Each structure stands twice: as C-alpha cells, then as structure tokens.
Amino acid sequence: MSAIGHALAIAGSMTWEILWALILGFFLSAVVQAVVRRSTIVRLLGDDRPRTLLIATGMGIASSSCSYAAVALARSLFRKGASFTAAMAFEIASTNLVIELGIVLTLLMGWQFTAAEFVGGPIMIVVVALAFRLFLRERLLRDARAQAERGIAGSMEGHAAMDMAVQRQGSFWRRLLSGEAFTAVSHVFVMEWAAILRDLIVGLLIAGAVAAWVPDSFWRHFFLTGHPLAAALWGPLVGPLVAVVSFVCSIGNVPLAAVLWNGGISFGGVIAFIFGDLIILPIINIYRKYYGLRMALFITGVFYAAMVIAGYLVELIFGVAGLIPRERRATVMEEHIAWNYTTWLNLAFLLLAAVLLVRFVRTGGIPMLKMMGGSPEGDDTAHHGSP
C-alpha cells in the first residue's frame, strides 16, 4: 500500500503541476476551432503540393489534440476529397503540434522540448510526404479509399464528425466576440477534455508508477547512458516502441516522457517517443479498419521511420546549437502541493473552466457528449445554433 500511495502521490503532484496549463491550452485551441470551419479545411487540402501540406500542418495545429479524434478526422477529410498525404499531415500536426502539448512540455520538461517538438513535427511530415510520393502505389491508395468509403467505425467518430465552428457571417473578430462563439468555445473545450481525459489519467498513473517503482539503474542500462554515442543512436529507435507498448497517446504521454528523460533516454529519443502516440496498438487497429491491413502496415512503417529520422535530426540540430539540457530535472518527483504561483494559476483557470462548463450544460452540450463515439456517417452534421 505504501508503494501504491507513493505512485499516486507523484501522479497527483504532476496533475496539479500541469492543470492550469492544460486548461489554458484547451481554451486557446477551442477559440481557434470555434472560428475555423471544417468546410474550409477540406477545400484547401485537395493535393499534396508543399503549399497544401503547409496549410494542412497549420490547420492541424489549430485542431484537436486527441489522437483518436485526429485519426478519425483525417479519414473524414480523405473521404471528402482531401489528398491522403495532406490528411496524414493534418493528423500528425493535430496530435503532435498543438498548443496544449507545447505548454505542458514547457512546464514539465523545459522550453527546449517544446522547441524540439515544433522542429521535429515538420521534419516528420516532410519525411512522410516524401515516403508516400516514392513508395505509395496507386493501387494501394485506391484500395484504401474503397475501404475508407465503407465508413467502419473506429474511435471518437462522433467527436471528429462534429463541426462546432461559428456559422454566422462577418469578420473574424465579430464572430469570435459573439454569443454563438461563447457557446462554440464552451462546447469544444468540454468535449476536448472528454476526448483526452482517459489517456491523460492513464498516462499520469503510468508515469507515477514508473517514477515510483522502476529504479534509475534500470533506465540507465536500458538507455545505454554510459555510452553517449550509442545512447543517441538507440533513443530514437526505441522511443516509439516504448510508446507502442505503453498504450498512452495524446497529451497523456508527456508525463511518461518526463520520467524517461530523467531515466536517461536521449533528447531525440524523447521526441520520437512523443510522436509514437500515432502508432500505438489500438490506433494501428483503427488504421486497419479505416484503410485495410496493407495500408495500416504501410502507414505504421512509414510513421515509425519518420519518427526515428525526426528524432535523429532533432538530436543533431539541438546538439550542434547547444540547446540540449545538461541536467535531467523534469518535474515528476515531487509528492506535495505547495501554496505557490501554480496553485493561484490553477484556481484562476479552474474558475474559467467552470464558466465554460456551465455554458456547455446550459446550451445543450450534454446530449453531444453521448454522441462522441457515434457513427462516422454523421460527418459535419453537428453545428451550433444561436446562443
């Protein structure tokens, strides 16, 4: 019981440390999603030119951070006419380049990791785009499209299908400051929390258990910390594989990334691990349902290779620039809650969350929660009405 209490105390401390940052990140993400219409995204992603992929990346950054919803939304975009490469670029960005992930990375691990994430993400997208252009055959793509058109359900289909952007006309600021936008922001905010809550809780519990129960000596041996060159080569190779077996995705893998960093994984290995949330076993199975077994294996192989390459290049770039932290002091080991600026920020942002939750409930949000895992056939059928 003492060991379990120790793990739960660490998990609770990490939760308190990142709570305000999560609320802020999801609020900013909700504001962006409230004014970006889904139809606009589809219209802009019809090919795989560099400009289109840049737009797909930008749209992904402004989108959901739930890996399951991102995968479902990418399939929805593909079915509606977006190129497969652009849809995958959108998926990668909407999971690994979102605002809330960057904030939590900075808070737990340091700004260098946030910078590395936003350098490594575009590298991964470029590698994936090049691999698709070189190795993706038309027949495989045609079979994948036919499978996608069958509309087999994966996970978070209802959430991905809902276009909750403001529908009224007018300038950006006029729409953003309207009562309809207040409703839209509250709905996106609450549903984003509902989408990632499971992974976030599981990730924090796993991170707490690993930090409390796995001795540092194990990680030092596993990550080859006594051999700097071998560790730099080994980290990006093994990072995504650790993610695969951890089953944790979305922002939930950041606390575990902090534990792995303290344990000795290389800088590039941390980034490759965080990217690995798109090839965990449940998501590979969803790829199989969406696109067929052969395309699922192709996506998994290309994504893994891109994660490894991005990890190596991040290690090289940040090493040459002298930006890799010398000390491994990610915030995971404290077991108490202090009355400090973190507490004040948590109280302030919890108040903001409460205001949005009340608006969500009063504007018919509860029935929408029940639709989050619903049929993919409801693409873009959910819109906000007047407040």
Q: Looking at the domain assignment, is residue 271 inside a domain?
A: yes
The DSSP symbol for 274 reads: H
Three-state secondary structure call for residue 10? helix
**Domain span including residue 54:** 2-378
pLDDT digits (tens, 9 = 90+) for 288-299: 988 999 999 999
Q: Looking at the domain assignment, is residue 28 inside a domain?
A: yes
CB atoms within 10 A of CB 364: 12
Which of residues 256 and 137 earns the better pLDDT score? 137
Q: What pLDDT score does 353 carry?
A: 92
Task: Identify whether the C-beta of residue 243 lies closer than 8 Å to the C-beta of residue 273.
Answer: yes
Which of residues 62 and 226 earns the better pLDDT score? 226
Which of residues 211 and 106 earns the better pLDDT score? 106
Taking the C-alpha atoms of residue 212 and residue 3, their distance in angstroms, rounded to an integer, is 7
Average pLDDT, the chain: 82
Three-state secondary structure call for residue 1? coil
Closest CA to 324 of 332, 316, 335: 316
Most confident of 14-28, 96-110, 124-138, 365-379: 124-138
Q: Looking at the domain assignment, is residue 386 inside a domain?
A: no
Give, in order, the Cα–Cα distances in Å from 234 to each of 224, 226, 256, 267, 273.
Answer: 8, 12, 18, 11, 12
Taking the C-alpha atoms of residue 291 and residue 341, their distance in angstroms, rounded to an integer, is 48
pLDDT digits (tens, 9 = 90+) for 160-185: 555 566 666 666 667 666 778 888 88
- What share of the chain has pLDDT > 70, as a percent? 80
Q: Looking at the domain assignment, is residue 387 inside a domain?
A: no
Q: What pLDDT score does 387 carry?
A: 42
- What share of the chain has pLDDT > 90, as a percent? 37
Phi, psi of 127 (to 5 degrees): -65, -45
Q: What pLDDT score does 380 carry?
A: 46
179-213 and 2-35 helices cross at what angle (nearest 10)? Answer: 150
Which of residues 244 and 207 earns the better pLDDT score? 244
Which of residues 156 and 258 earns the better pLDDT score? 258
Q: Taking 90 as the threshold, does the pLDDT of residue 46 lie above it?
A: no
Q: What pLDDT score does 92 carry?
A: 95
Biggest distance spanned by C-alpha atoms of the chain: 62
Taking the C-alpha atoms of residue 380 and residue 101, their distance in angstroms, rounded to an integer, is 26
Name the pLDDT band for 38 (thresholds 50, 70, 90).
low
Q: How far is CA 195 from the centre of its chain?
A: 11
If you search the block for the tokens 């395309």, which residue do you land on?
Answer: 295
Q: Looking at the domain assignment, is residue 383 inside a domain?
A: no
Taking the C-alpha atoms of residue 375 and residue 157, their distance in angstroms, rounded to an integer, is 6
Task: Give me the count of residues in the chain.
Answer: 387
Q: What pLDDT score does 3 carry?
A: 67
Q: Taking 70 as the threshold, does the pLDDT of residue 139 lie above it?
A: yes
Mean pLDDT of 192-208: 76
Which of residues 320 and 327 earns the better pLDDT score? 320
Q: What pLDDT score does 162 carry?
A: 59
Lowest mean pLDDT among 181-185, 193-197, 222-226, 380-384: 380-384
Q: What pLDDT score does 113 carry?
A: 95
Q: Looking at the domain assignment, is residue 150 inside a domain?
A: yes
Q: What pLDDT score does 381 carry?
A: 44
Phi, psi of 372 (to 5 degrees): -60, -35
Give, in order, the Cα–Cα distances in Å from 4 to each of 8, 211, 354.
Answer: 6, 12, 31
Q: Which residues, including other chains, have CB under 8 Å from residue 264's CB and lie 6 or more apart? A: 216, 219, 220, 222, 223, 225, 231, 328
Can you give the pTM of this predicted structure? Answer: 0.78
Name the pLDDT band for 378 (thresholds 50, 70, 90).
very low
Number of domains within the chain: 1
Closest CA to 318 of 159, 110, 168: 110
pLDDT digits (tens, 9 = 90+) for 71-125: 877 887 888 888 999 999 999 998 888 888 888 888 888 899 999 999 999 999 9
If you search the block for the tokens 């989050």, which residue do you land on?
Answer: 372
Q: Looking at the domain assignment, is residue 8 inside a domain?
A: yes
Token pair of 143 as six digits: 């079979």
Token pair of 162 as six digits: 């809902």
Q: Looking at the domain assignment, is residue 147 inside a domain?
A: yes
Per DSSP, the residues of 21-49 read HHHHHHHHHHHHHHHS-HHHHHHH-SS--
Give, in order, the Cα–Cα distances in Å from 145 to each of 53, 77, 152, 339.
Answer: 19, 11, 12, 54
